[in-house]
Amino acid sequence: MNALPNVAGDHFELTAAILLTGFRESAASARRRIILPLHRTQGATVQRMLNFFQPGTYVCPHQHPEDGAIETICVLSGVLGFVLFEAEGSVRSTHRLNTGPLGLIDIEPGVWHGMVALSPDTAILEIKRGPYEAKADKSFAAWAPPEGDPAALEYLSTLEALF
């Protein structure tokens, strides 16, 4: 399972119980992460989600190529390592994002990026343009191993060592 069911109703409030559920589900997931969609439908024009990460999850570097595909990330719990890459794969910059006012990053479309969980029970709020279309949402980096590739763990270790 990659995602919990979308929330329902006319409002959502983040509670300790929801955080604990996300942390428990991400720890139990083979991917070491799970999403809780806050948008009520997959066709929503603004996609809002909570991403729960555990150390060892591999997020293949990618970009969002569509016009207007801005992405905003805010760390709610834990510590996230955020890496910006040049088009050919060299590291452009690294950002250690903690909870609080220094835990926010916003990127424009076409920016190559990846992230690593630097502490257990890392949770982020992610906001992007919708609606979500799997085929158009992301372009994965040809210079990085895909998720599930045996080389991904070694590459993940390289990214973690940047922090």
pLDDT at residue 102, rounded to an integer: 87
pTM of the model: 0.94
Q: 16-160: which CATH number, 3.40.50.2300, 3.30.559.10, 2.40.128.120, 2.60.120.10?
A: 2.60.120.10
pLDDT at residue 161, rounded to an integer: 98
Q: What rounded mean pLDDT belongs to the chain? A: 95
**Residues 6+ away with beta carbon under 8 Å from 97:** 73, 75, 79, 80, 81, 82, 103, 104, 105
Nearest to 36 by CA among 18, 19, 50: 50
pLDDT exceeds cutoff 90 at 135: no
Domains of the chain, residue spans: 16-160
Q: What distance in Å separates the CA atoms of residue 158 and residue 133, rounded to the nearest whole number?
A: 30
pLDDT exceeds cutoff 90 at 15: yes
pLDDT at residue 136, rounded to an integer: 79
Give per-residue pLDDT as tens, 58-84: 999 999 998 889 999 999 999 999 999
